[in-house]
A and B are shown apart, each in its own frame.
Chain A
């Protein structure tokens, strides 16, 4: 007994040591293999030039496990797609030299302290030149603070809550426009399409990003003289019947919610169960995760639900890396074998913006690249990009994309269609929502 115990202990020690060695050795130059797709893993693709390729290291974290995992994986795909596309074209031109892009990506487990920790790791251990932010405002609040300490430029594809940008941080830049505008778009759509409602119920969990969006919606509604009902609920609830009861009590004809996916689908289902049928139902964040949303609630229930999309394939938006928006959508859909989502697009756009800034600055120096970002005014497949300041409810947000335009979408026959603004419309708004 004794001996076998010692043997086992010895084996475990050996195993742990082997893991440690595997962990320490080899440095940190590999990217993680794609989780459920078949992309190539090589970080530095072979070039036709002889000699060692120069490399730019770009670090990022993404929530590959934890509550935000579904979206985090999409962001990773977007980053990798950009990396592969740009490397195939020879890399980034830094003052005449071509540099290959090496992406170093870690899983932050949807946990802010972990994201901050690995941002520190990327900067101090892996010695990355620049950073790309993780998915969600909650995580980006942490990573941007860390990056600021070390004065490293970080581009955030999908973090547009007020709090990220009103703290006077100088090195974080948002691909998106502030979330308050996103949701406002949905509200503005109503009078624009000639719809009058008695009031709007704004339903949101007490969380950074949803609260910011809700504030935007209520502000816009106030300006348009539409009364609102504020329905805030604690996050982390498994049962939302109380929320649904509040919605019923409000007797609002329009319901706009900034809840995340799980809550959103639950609210929708429980509303249906309780027989609450508003004429307009919009989920700021859940609808654009396709096909998940339609799968989760069923085609019938999803019909007519509105949402917003940060990205839509548009012919008029184009750049020299990805081509037009339509081209991008086709390519990325083909590569990852599932319909494009705006998460991938925003992530790829972040990479693209960084690249353009580096090329414009002609150097890898963070200060110069930062200046290049501040003076940037370009068109991309994603949207026009120009960084500036915006005010909202007395707070100034800096380094947000002031030229981007949110789009309101609606599920029609199981597919997303753009319904507002009209110049990008692909289908007319269906109103009221069929139940």
Chain B
């Protein structure tokens, strides 16, 4: 009779629900990673903290564009428009209206939401390729408008107030701030994909007509998705404005930035929760190393690496990380600590 038990445990009766893979490896990994990242500033110098802060900012933007592009299928190549708007809202309100930084940051996020909703009304109606182009056009025209307004300082830009704290403190502040926003947007993404909204977006991406026929209000969901995307991208811009202490239209409304964050989300894995963060991390750090080390040929090396990686890892980096037999690894680790009465290792699930 005892011989029966293991077989039931390992071969469930036909029709029975398959056991879900344990979440434990993921949670352990996340906890370890978070601890690592939170403690990092204790050992890092100012320069690397700043580098990582910028990486986090790009990760926020990649993760944000993922919501509208990776999940909903609306490829907003020009999403950096919200980065610029967010940066300028913070810039203008803190210098002209004496709004405190934290309030300005919130305003930046909300302002971008408003912008995305208003402009989304006509633009989200466009399909695929046209939406993509429209967002690029939006980026460019917003830049031109900002450039020509007086309140934004035009081409001379805005110098945001320098905080009266030591450089070390300031570096840490921005590091944790960016990290916090990043954690939030990742969590929001995770939440979305677990609930109805995620389902709706995936349906829209797959076939919007069919989704509408099934009663999914695609306009509502698309607008929400873009609004969320805009909110966080705007926050990233706001943080950046203070971080850099100087913004100008040409640098915050840059096509290169917009393309980069879009590519990072594709690179890491569009439509996944952690993919864009990974993509941003890898691409930004890689580009940092290459630039520092191979000054004259850094573009050549970076470009070649990008081409090679897309050829060999086209599904996005995260898909290959998933392939690592984490469950076997996890089971093995657990097994090290547990033995059943027969002296054999108990397997998980």
- In the complex they form, whether A and B have CB atoms below 8 Å apart is answered with yes
Chain A interface residues toward B at CB < 8 A: 5, 8-9, 12, 15-16, 19-20, 22-24, 28, 32-33, 35, 64-65, 106-107, 109, 111-113, 116-117, 120-121, 123-125, 141-142, 145, 149-150, 163, 167, 205-208, 211, 234-236
Evaluate contact between A8 and B45: CB separation under 8 angstroms. no
B312 interface residue per 8 A CB criterion: yes
Q: Check B246 against A149 for contact (C-beta < 8 Å).
A: no
Contacts of A116 in B (CB 8 A): 244
Partner of B156, one of A28, A32, A208: A208
Contact (Cβ within 8 A) B295 A149: no
B251 touches A111 (CB 8 A): yes
The CA-CA distance from A241 to B296 in the complex, in Å, is 36
Interface residues of B in 270-305 (CB under 8 A from A): 286, 289-293, 295-296, 298-299, 301, 305
When the two chains form their complex, are residues A149 and B167 in contact, meaning their CB atoms are under 8 A apart? yes
Q: B320 near A: Cβ within 8 Å?
A: yes
List residues of chain A with CB within 8 A of the CB of B192.
none
Kindly report which residue of chain A lies nearest to residue B282, judged by CB atoms.
Answer: A16
Find out whether the CB atom of A236 lies under 8 angstroms from the CB atom of B167.
Answer: no
Cα distance, A16 to B155, chains bound together (Å) = 39
List chain A residues, Cβ under 8 A from B54.
117
- List, sorted by A's number, 9 A–B pairs whose CB atoms are closer than 8 Å: A16-B286, A20-B289, A23-B292, A107-B291, A117-B51, A117-B54, A120-B50, A141-B246, A206-B156
A19 pairs with B291, CB closer than 8 A: no
Question: B246, A236: Cβ atoms under 8 Å?
Answer: no
Known: A8-B312, A234-B147. A112 touches B296 (CB 8 A): no
Chain B stretch 134-166: residues in CB contact (< 8 A) with chain A: 144, 147-148, 154-156, 159, 162
Residues of A within 8 A of B312 (CB): 5, 8-9, 12
B245 within 8 A of A: yes
Contact of A64 among B45, B155, B295 (CB under 8 A): B295
Question: How close is B260's CB to chain A, nearest CB, in angstroms?
Answer: 13
Q: Are B313 and A106 in contact, CB atoms less than 8 angstroms apart?
A: no
Give the size range of B's interface with the partner.
Answer: 35 or more
B interface residue numbers (CB < 8 A to A): 45-48, 50-51, 54, 144, 147-148, 154-156, 159, 162, 167, 244-246, 248, 250-251, 286, 289-293, 295-296, 298-299, 301, 305, 308-309, 312-313, 320
Selected from A23, A109, A117, A145, the residue in CB contact (under 8 A) with B47 is A117
8 more contacts with CB within 8 A, not counting A107-B291, A167-B159, are A5-B312, A19-B289, A111-B251, A113-B251, A141-B246, A206-B154, A208-B156, A211-B156
Q: A16-B305, A19-B290, A64-B295 are in contact. Are A113 and B47 (CB under 8 A)?
A: no
User: Roughly how many angstroms separate A112 CA and B289 CA in the complex, as a whole number?
Assistant: 19
Asked if A120 and B47 sit within 8 Å, CB to CB, the answer is yes
Which residue on chain A has the smallest CB distance to residue B157?
Answer: A208
With the chains together, A207 CA to B155 CA distance in Å?
6
Residue of A16, A24, A28, A32 with highest tally of chain B CB at under 10 A: A16
Residues from chain B with a CB closer than 8 A to the CB of A32 are 295-296
B45 near A124: Cβ-Cβ < 8 Å:
yes
A325 to chain B, nearest CB (A): 31
- Contact at A9–B251, with CB atoms within 8 Å? no
Of all chain B residues, the one with the shortest Cβ separation from A16 is B286
Also in contact, A22 and B313, with CB within 8 A (given A113-B244, A149-B167): no
A12–B292 CB distance below 8 A: no
Given A33-B296, A64-B295, A111-B251, A150 contacting B167 (CB threshold 8 A): yes
Q: Are the C-beta atoms of A12 and B309 separated by less than 8 Å?
A: yes
- Point out the residues of chain A lying under 8 angstroms from B251, CB to CB: 111-113
Q: Is the CB of A9 within 8 A of B291?
A: no
| Shortest Cβ distance from B298 into A: residue | A107
Kindly list chain B residues whose C-beta atoms are within 8 Å of the C-beta of A207.
155
- CB-CB < 8 A to A65: which residues of B? 299
* B47→A121 contact, CB < 8 A: yes
A435 to B54, CA, bound (A): 52
Give every chain B residue within 8 A of A125 (Cβ-Cβ). 45, 47-48
Residue of A whose beta carbon sits closest to that of B289? A23
B50 touching A106 by the CB < 8 A rule? no
Return the chain A residue nearest B299 by Cβ: A65
Q: A112 to B309, alpha carbons, bound, how many Å?
A: 29
B contact residues around A150 at 8 Å (CB)? 167
Select from chain B the residue with minimum beta-carbon distance to A33. B296
Query: Complex Cα distance A417/B248, Å?
Result: 38
Q: Are B156 and A124 in contact (CB under 8 A)?
A: no
Residues of A within 8 A of B47 (CB): 117, 120-121, 123-125
Distance, CA A426 to CA B293, complexed state (A):
45
B289 partner residues in chain A, CB cutoff 8 A: 19-20, 23-24
